[in-house]
Structures are given as C-alpha cells and as structure tokens.
C-alpha cells in the first residue's frame, strides 16, 4: 500500500443548513435582488454595506434568548479576546452603524441593504443557517407614514420580483393593540405577555382550541408532551381569542372590529390610531385592500418590535411545499438606544431572498431562469485552436455568450456537452469549412424541442434547418436567428 492509499479522505459534504447554489438558483436570486434594489432606490433609499462580523455585544439582547455568545449565532473570540459574531440579520448592524454615525447622517436615514446572514440554529426545510436578506429601513421617523411607506415598498418589491398581484399579501398588526388589551385585562408581567404572544403565534398550526389551551393552563400535544400555558383566566383568554379573530375584510372594517374588542386602554387606542394613519397613507400610495390587510394574529420577533409589525405571506397554491413567511418587519424603537441611551424610532422590512426565489419558482415564474448556456465552438483539431477562439471572440463581441470546448473528447461527446450546457447552438469549423470560407451551425434548441415533442409544425421546421453551412461572414446573424427564435 502506498502512502497515498493511506491518506485521510474526508467525505465531500456540505455542512448542515448550508447550500451550494448553481446557476439557475443564482440567476433567480440575482434577478430578485436587482428588482427589489431598484424599487428601494426609486423610493429614495440609499445602499449601505456593513461587514459580515459584528462584536457580539452589538448583537446584544437580540441574540436568541441566551447570554452564551455562541448560541444562535456563529461567534469566535478574536485575539484581543473580544467576541465577534457573524451577523444574523441586517437590522442589528444598521442599529450599530446608525448609533456610531448618528451625528453626521441625514435624518431620517433611509437605507437598504442586501447581504448574507448566518444563524446557528437547527436547519429544516426552507430554513438555512446561511441565507440572503434584502432590507429597507427608515431610522429616525416615528410617523406611522414611515411604516406605511415600508409596507407599500415591500408590496412593490414583491411585484417587481415577479410575484403576480394576488399571489402574496402583507399582513399588518400592531404590538400596542395586544399590549393594551392585556394591560386592560390585568396582565402586566412581561413573562406572561410573552406567553400570550407565543400562544397566538401558534394559531396557524394549532387552531383556535389549541391557542385557547395555551392561553390558559397549557396543552398536551399528540406525543403526550405538555406545554405550559400563559395562565390567563377564561375571560382574558376569550378576549385575546376575539382579538386575534377580528381581522377580515377591508382594513377599516378590521379597525372598527378591533376598537370593539380592545377599546379603552391608552396603549390600545394609540395602536389603533397608528393603524388608521397607516391605512390612510396606504390609500394614498395606491395599495389595494387585498395587497395589505390588518391581521391581529400576526406575531413577529417576540422581544424586538415595539409597534406595527408586518409579514409578507404567500397566498398561491404551492403544492406540498410550505414556505412560511417570505418577508417580515416592523417598528423597533429601542435598537439604537442600546448604544446611545437615546431612543431612536425606526422601522423596516426584510425579504428572505431564497424563500422568495423558491416561491417564485413554485409560482411558475422560475421557468426561463433555467441556466442558458453559451454557444459552444467545437474543437476538432489542436492545430486550429486559434481559429476556434476567433469564432468565440466574434460571437462574444456581438454580445452572444460563447466558449470553445476545452476538454479532450471527440465530436459526439462535445455535442453532448453542448446539449448539457443548454447551449442554443454549436459551431463547427472543420477543415472543409475553413477551406471553403464557411461555417456550420447546429441549432440545438430545435433539436431539444423536437426531442421533447414540442413541435410537429412541418412548415416551421422546414424554415429552420437543424444544421446549416453558411458563409463565415453570416455566422453572427445565423446564431442570432437561432437565439431569437428559441426564446
Ligand atoms: P427575520 O429576520 O427572522 O424577521 O426574517 C425575515 C425573513 O428572512 C423571513 O421572512 C424569511 O423569509 C427569511 N428567513 C428567516 N430565517 C430564515 C432561514 N433560517 N432560512 C431562510 N430564510 C430565512
């Protein structure tokens, strides 16, 4: 046995929750990022990029319920002993940046950001440990109109990304409503309030009866495991249930119903007033009733948001796959205060780009993003490589992606390669062609369509020869015809 045979050979594998992305995924994501960024820019938001790492204390209490720096995030101790962590969203870095540069920033500060975030949590379907977010936030405005603008922009972003109208909805709630209701019912302990929010958050999964149990004593699931409830008395629990079910129909109708359920408490009234202002602004911004609705069952970021919260939910049929939310956000007035001690009102929204890409694919919008390959110039003869490169350069100069085959296989394998690359055409430049000043172009799109039985139109086929030998000078025009017809 040689040393080489003894060598340690790791199994080639990608860490759990991380994904390799190939061309079609990357293209779909890039298209989304470009479309959404354009929307954000058109609303006057400027791009901002911050580093992947932050000092762990900058992420602070917004780490998932724990004081262990490595819990929920990927953290490491620097050689100066300071803990740094990979950002788990784009909001915490914004708060740090805003605090650090507050004096010199135009206020309100409107920025958008696109970037990878990392979460050290248990991966699952549609739940990664590394994914891309695309955020827009307004820092330094307490006006509900700032929230309305973020909601309208998120709606425009979904549409620009390619989700047809009616395929998704923005659901809006306000933390102040439930807080007001609970205060009115005598629930003041933060822990109990969190228990109520956690129970409401499970409405989708457990239904009304399940939530009722969790608002009260608790609930045993199918496996027999018991989840302790929030411990509300029956009256308080029923008022919470009436509250979460109050959302349907027009936004103004929901507001009227909500006023009946929570009316009275100061905080609840303030929340209703904010939602009424958001509604008025959304009307002005042309956001239809079915694009953005008030839904009191929406719970997000339990300890994070202080006022309005929003969630983008997919409405269309996506088969067996469930996506969860494709984006979310809300008002967080305390993030900057962590650094400066001064409360700075802020509001923002975040798209999960991979989920949005998956949703678009499920909506049938992913088709056409299939990675289209370059025109492949067949390499026959080592001595003629320069000619082949000449052909590829000519096509590229005409704006047509092209490459020369650089493997060492024969003609048949080269054609197969071109097909696997989804090349629209292969260019053949043999000795005969070179001598005659011609070139042969093979229409691979046509071949694929015929193979897939997509055409039996004889006349069309006659007009579009599968293979043609043409004067060398006509190459670009011939390939253009193939690409044009293939689309
Ligand atoms: P959050 O920052 O938790 O409010 O999430 C904002 C958006 O990011 C969500 O609506 C999802 O679309 C996306 N997202 C959150 N967590 C994950 C994850 N683990 N994997 C993929 N996308 C995620």
Summarised one tens digit per residue, pLDDT across range 146-201 is 999 999 999 999 999 988 888 899 999 999 999 898 888 888 888 888 889 889 98
Ligand 1 pocket: which of 95, 121, 157, 350 to mutate (most atoms within 8 A of CB): 350
278 close to 197: Cβ distance less than 8 angstroms: no
Residues 6+ apart with CB under 8 A from 280: none
| 454 has pLDDT over 70 | no
For ligand 1, atom 8: residue with the closest CA? 352
Q: What is the mean pLDDT of residues 408-422?
A: 94
In the numeric block, the tokens 């990675």 are attached to: 371
pLDDT band at 400 (very low <50, low <70, confident <90, very high): very high
> Candidates 25, 64, 87, 133: which one to mutate for ligand 1, based on the most atoms within 8 Å of Cβ?
133
Angle between the N-to-C axes of helices 251-262 and 266-284, in degrees from 0 to 180, rounded to the nearest 10: 180
Tens digits of per-residue pLDDT, 99-139?
A: 999 999 999 999 999 999 999 988 988 889 999 999 999 99
Kindly give the number of the ligand 1 atom that is closest to the alpha carbon of 356. 12
C-alpha 107 chain-centroid distance: 28
Task: Indicate whether 480 pLDDT > 90.
Answer: yes
CA of 300, closest atom in ligand 1: 4
Separation of CA 440 and ligand 1 centre (Å): 50
| pLDDT for residue 65 | 44
User: Which residue's alpha carbon is at the smallest distance from atom 13 of ligand 1?
Assistant: 352
Structure tokens of 150? 């973020």
pLDDT at 468 (0 to 100): 93
Bridge pairing between strands 53-55 and 75-77: unpaired
CA 475 / ligand 1 centre spacing (Å): 48
Task: Compute, in angstroms, the gap from residue 159 CA to the centroid of ligand 1.
Answer: 19
> Which residue's alpha carbon is at the smallest distance from atom 15 of ligand 1?
352
What does DSSP say about strands 168-174 and 308-314: parallel, antiparallel, or unpaired? Answer: antiparallel
CA-89 nearest atom, ligand 1:
2
- CB count within 10 Å of CB 311 equals 22
Residues 17 and 338: their CA atoms lie apart, in Å, by: 31
Output the ligand 1 site: residues, CB below 6 A. 89, 119, 127-128, 131, 133, 301, 325-328, 350, 352, 354-355
How many whole angstroms from 363 Cα to the centroid of ligand 1?
19
Residue in 15, 29, 125, 131 to alter for ligand 1 test, most ligand atoms within 8 A of Cβ: 131
**Residue 341 corresponds to which tokens in the numbers above?**
């001690």
Ligand 1: atom nearest CA of 128 is 20
- CA 51-52-58 angle, to 5 degrees, is 80
Separation of CA 260 and ligand 1 centre (Å): 34
Please tell me the pTM assigned to this model: 0.87
- How many angstroms from the chain centroid is the CA of residue 434? 50
391's CB contacts (< 8 A; 6+ apart) are: 377, 402, 404, 427, 429, 439, 475
Please tell me the predicted confidence (pLDDT) of residue 319: 60
The residue contributing the CA closest to ligand 1 atom 17 is: 127
Please tell me the distance between residue 352's alpha carbon and the centre of ligand 1 in angstroms: 5
Ligand 1 atom closest to Cα of 326? 12
Among 11-25, 138-152, 226-240, the range with the most confident prediction by mean pLDDT is 138-152
| Atom from ligand 1 closest to the CA of residue 312 | 10
Structure tokens belonging to residue 426: 């292969």
Closest CA to 478 of 468, 486, 487: 468
Quote the CA–CA distance of 451 and 217 in Å, as a whole number: 64
**419 and 444 in contact (C-beta within 8 Å)?**
yes
Atom of ligand 1 nearest to the CA of 121: 19
Please report the DSSP string for 215-242 in residue order: HTTEEE-TTS-EEE-----HHHHHHHHH
Closest residue by CA, ligand 1 atom 19: 127
- Which one of 134, 301, 355, 358 would you pick to mutate in the ligand 1 pocket, going by the greatest count of ligand atoms within 8 A of its CB? 355
Quickly list H helices, 46-186: 56-59, 91-101, 144-161, 175-184
Q: 458 pLDDT band (50/70/90 cuts)?
A: low
Contacts of residues 72-75 at CB distance under 8 Å and 24 or more positions apart, as own/partner, are: 72/119, 72/120, 72/121, 73/118, 73/119, 73/120, 74/118, 74/120
Instruction: Judge contact between 374 and 403, C-beta under 8 A.
Output: yes
Kindly give the number of the ligand 1 atom that is closest to the alpha carbon of 327: 10
CA–centroid distance, 69 to ligand 1, in Å, is: 21
Interval between CA 75 and ligand 1 midpoint (Å): 19
Residue 239 CA to ligand 1 centre (angstroms): 31
Any idea how long the chain is? 487
**Given a cut of 50, is residue 460 above it in pLDDT?**
yes
């Amino acid at each position: 046995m040689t040393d080489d045979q003894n060598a340690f050979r790791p199994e080639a594998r990608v860490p759990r929750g991380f994904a390799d992305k190939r061309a079609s995924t990357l293209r779909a994501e890039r298209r989304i990022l470009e479309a959404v960024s354009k929307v954000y820019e058109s609303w006057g938001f400027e791009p901002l990029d911050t580093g992947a790492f932050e000092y762990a204390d900058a992420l602070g209490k917004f780490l998932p319920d724990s004081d262990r720096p490595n819990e929920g995030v990927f953290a490491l101790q620097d050689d100066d002993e300071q803990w740094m962590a990979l950002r788990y969203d784009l909001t915490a870095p914004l708060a740090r940046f805003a605090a650090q540069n507050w004096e010199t920033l135009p206020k309100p500060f409107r920025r958008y950001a696109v970037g990878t975030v990392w979460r050290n949590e248990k991966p699952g379907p549609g739940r990664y440990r590394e994914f891309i977010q695309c955020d827009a936030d307004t820092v330094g405005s307490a006006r509900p109109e700032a929230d309305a603008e973020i909601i309208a922009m998120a709606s425009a972003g979904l549409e620009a990304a390619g989700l047809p109208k009616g395929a998704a909805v923005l659901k809006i709630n306000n933390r102040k409503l439930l807080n007001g209701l609970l205060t009115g019912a005598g629930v003041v302990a933060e822990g109990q309030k969190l228990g109520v929010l956690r129970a409401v958050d499970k409405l989708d999964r457990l239904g009304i009866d399940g939530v009722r149990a969790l608002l009260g004593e608790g609930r045993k699931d199918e496996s027999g495991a018991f989840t302790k409830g929030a411990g509300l008395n029956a009256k308080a629990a029923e008022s919470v249930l009436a509250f979460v079910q109050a959302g349907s129909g027009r936004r103004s109708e929901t507001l009227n119903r909500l006023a009946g359920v929570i009316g009275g408490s100061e905080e609840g009234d303030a929340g209703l007033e904010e939602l009424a202002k958001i509604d008025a602004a959304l009307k002005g911004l042309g956001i239809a009733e079915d694009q953005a609705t008030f839904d009191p069952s929406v719970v997000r970021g339990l300890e994070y948001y202080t006022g309005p919260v929003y969630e983008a939910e997919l409405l269309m049929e996506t088969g067996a796959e469930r996506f969860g939310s494709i984006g979310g956000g809300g008002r967080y007035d305390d993030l900057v205060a962590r650094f400066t001690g001064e409360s700075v009102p802020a509001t923002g929204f975040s798209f999960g780009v991979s989920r949005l890409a998956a949703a678009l694919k499920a909506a049938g919008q992913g088709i056409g993003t299939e990675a289209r390959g370059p025109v492949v110039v067949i390499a026959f003869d080592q001595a003629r490589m320069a000619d082949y490169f000449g052909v590829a350069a000519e096509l590229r100069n005409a704006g047509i992606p092209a490459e020369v085959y650089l493997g060492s296989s024969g003609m048949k394998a080269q054609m197969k390669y071109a097909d696997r690359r989804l090349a629209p055409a292969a260019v053949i430049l043999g000795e005969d062609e070179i001598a005659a000043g011609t070139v042969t172009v093979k229409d691979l799109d046509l071949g694929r369509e015929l193979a897939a039985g997509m055409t039996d139109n004889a006349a069309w086929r006659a007009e579009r020869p599968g293979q043609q030998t043409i004067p060398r000078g006509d190459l670009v025009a011939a390939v253009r015809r193939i690409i044009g017809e293939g689309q």
